[in-house]
Amino acid sequence: MPVEITIDPEDPGAPAAVAEAFAAVAGCAVRLVLRAGEETREFSGRVPRRAHWPSPDDPCLMLCPGTTDRTHVLAAMAIHLRLLDGCLALARRRHYEQEALDMQRLPPGPVRLRLEPVPE
Protein backbone atom coordinates (compact mmCIF):
# COMPACT_ATOMS: atom_id res chain seq x y z
CA MET A 1 0.00 0.00 0.00
CA PRO A 2 1.50 3.41 -0.97
CA VAL A 3 2.23 6.00 1.69
CA GLU A 4 1.54 9.63 0.83
CA ILE A 5 2.02 12.76 2.95
CA THR A 6 2.48 16.47 2.46
CA ILE A 7 5.55 17.92 4.15
CA ASP A 8 5.50 21.55 5.19
CA PRO A 9 9.12 22.61 5.80
CA GLU A 10 7.85 25.22 8.30
CA ASP A 11 6.17 22.54 10.45
CA PRO A 12 8.36 21.48 13.40
CA GLY A 13 6.79 18.01 13.16
CA ALA A 14 7.91 17.51 9.55
CA PRO A 15 10.97 15.32 10.34
CA ALA A 16 8.85 12.99 12.50
CA ALA A 17 6.22 12.73 9.75
CA VAL A 18 8.91 11.80 7.20
CA ALA A 19 10.33 9.15 9.57
CA GLU A 20 6.85 7.71 10.13
CA ALA A 21 6.19 7.52 6.37
CA PHE A 22 9.50 5.74 5.72
CA ALA A 23 8.95 3.41 8.70
CA ALA A 24 5.75 2.16 7.03
CA VAL A 25 7.82 0.79 4.11
CA ALA A 26 11.05 -0.08 5.95
CA GLY A 27 12.75 -3.11 4.42
CA CYS A 28 10.87 -2.69 1.11
CA ALA A 29 11.81 -1.76 -2.43
CA VAL A 30 9.98 1.49 -3.27
CA ARG A 31 9.61 4.32 -5.72
CA LEU A 32 9.95 7.69 -3.99
CA VAL A 33 8.06 10.50 -5.71
CA LEU A 34 8.54 14.09 -4.51
CA ARG A 35 6.39 16.89 -5.92
CA ALA A 36 7.42 20.43 -5.01
CA GLY A 37 5.72 23.21 -6.91
CA GLU A 38 6.03 22.36 -10.61
CA GLU A 39 8.97 19.99 -10.02
CA THR A 40 8.66 16.21 -9.67
CA ARG A 41 11.56 13.98 -8.63
CA GLU A 42 11.44 10.16 -8.72
CA PHE A 43 13.86 7.63 -7.26
CA SER A 44 13.75 3.84 -7.03
CA GLY A 45 15.55 2.03 -4.27
CA ARG A 46 15.17 0.28 -0.95
CA VAL A 47 14.26 1.71 2.43
CA PRO A 48 16.52 -0.06 4.95
CA ARG A 49 15.06 -1.69 8.04
CA ARG A 50 14.93 0.81 10.91
CA ALA A 51 17.85 -0.90 12.64
CA HIS A 52 20.00 0.22 9.69
CA TRP A 53 18.98 3.89 9.71
CA PRO A 54 21.76 6.24 10.88
CA SER A 55 19.44 7.21 13.77
CA PRO A 56 15.82 6.36 14.68
CA ASP A 57 14.53 9.61 13.16
CA ASP A 58 16.76 9.63 10.06
CA PRO A 59 15.36 7.38 7.32
CA CYS A 60 16.92 7.07 3.90
CA LEU A 61 16.43 5.51 0.51
CA MET A 62 19.32 3.36 -0.71
CA LEU A 63 19.98 3.86 -4.43
CA CYS A 64 21.91 1.56 -6.72
CA PRO A 65 24.18 3.10 -9.36
CA GLY A 66 22.22 4.52 -12.25
CA THR A 67 18.88 4.71 -10.40
CA THR A 68 18.78 8.44 -10.19
CA ASP A 69 16.73 11.50 -11.10
CA ARG A 70 19.18 14.37 -11.62
CA THR A 71 21.20 13.15 -8.61
CA HIS A 72 24.72 11.92 -9.33
CA VAL A 73 25.01 8.22 -8.33
CA LEU A 74 28.13 6.30 -9.39
CA ALA A 75 28.15 3.91 -6.42
CA ALA A 76 25.52 2.84 -3.91
CA MET A 77 24.20 5.99 -2.26
CA ALA A 78 21.73 6.94 0.43
CA ILE A 79 19.30 9.79 -0.12
CA HIS A 80 17.90 11.59 2.95
CA LEU A 81 15.35 14.38 3.24
CA ARG A 82 16.63 17.34 5.26
CA LEU A 83 15.38 20.80 6.15
CA LEU A 84 17.69 23.49 4.80
CA ASP A 85 16.97 27.21 5.16
CA GLY A 86 13.21 26.69 5.32
CA CYS A 87 13.11 24.29 2.34
CA LEU A 88 13.19 20.55 1.99
CA ALA A 89 16.44 19.26 0.49
CA LEU A 90 17.82 15.95 -0.75
CA ALA A 91 21.04 15.00 1.03
CA ARG A 92 23.23 12.49 -0.80
CA ARG A 93 25.77 10.36 1.05
CA ARG A 94 27.85 7.26 0.41
CA HIS A 95 26.14 4.32 2.06
CA TYR A 96 29.13 3.61 4.31
CA GLU A 97 29.69 7.22 5.49
CA GLN A 98 27.74 9.40 7.92
CA GLU A 99 28.25 12.86 6.38
CA ALA A 100 26.34 14.10 3.35
CA LEU A 101 28.32 14.75 0.18
CA ASP A 102 25.96 17.48 -0.92
CA MET A 103 22.41 18.78 -0.69
CA GLN A 104 19.98 19.71 -3.44
CA ARG A 105 17.28 22.10 -2.31
CA LEU A 106 13.75 21.47 -3.59
CA PRO A 107 11.53 24.43 -4.52
CA PRO A 108 10.16 26.34 -1.51
CA GLY A 109 6.83 25.42 0.04
CA PRO A 110 5.08 22.17 0.85
CA VAL A 111 6.30 18.95 -0.77
CA ARG A 112 4.12 15.96 -1.58
CA LEU A 113 5.93 12.72 -0.72
CA ARG A 114 4.77 9.35 -2.03
CA LEU A 115 6.41 6.01 -1.29
CA GLU A 116 5.13 3.25 -3.61
CA PRO A 117 6.18 -0.34 -2.90
CA VAL A 118 7.46 -2.02 -6.08
CA PRO A 119 7.96 -5.70 -6.91
CA GLU A 120 11.45 -6.97 -6.27
Cα separation, 120 vs 111, whole angstroms: 27
Burial 15-45 (b: 16+ CB within 10 A, else e): beebbebbbbbbebebbbbbbbeeeebebbb
User: How do residues 7-42 score in pLDDT, each as one tens digit?
Assistant: 999 999 999 999 999 999 999 999 999 999 999 999
pLDDT of residue 70: 56
Cα separation, 59 vs 116, whole angstroms: 16
Tens of pLDDT along the chain (120 residues)? 899 999 999 999 999 999 999 999 999 999 999 999 999 999 999 999 999 998 889 999 998 876 555 555 567 788 999 998 889 999 888 767 777 778 899 999 999 999 999 987
pLDDT of residue 8: 96
pLDDT of residue 25: 97
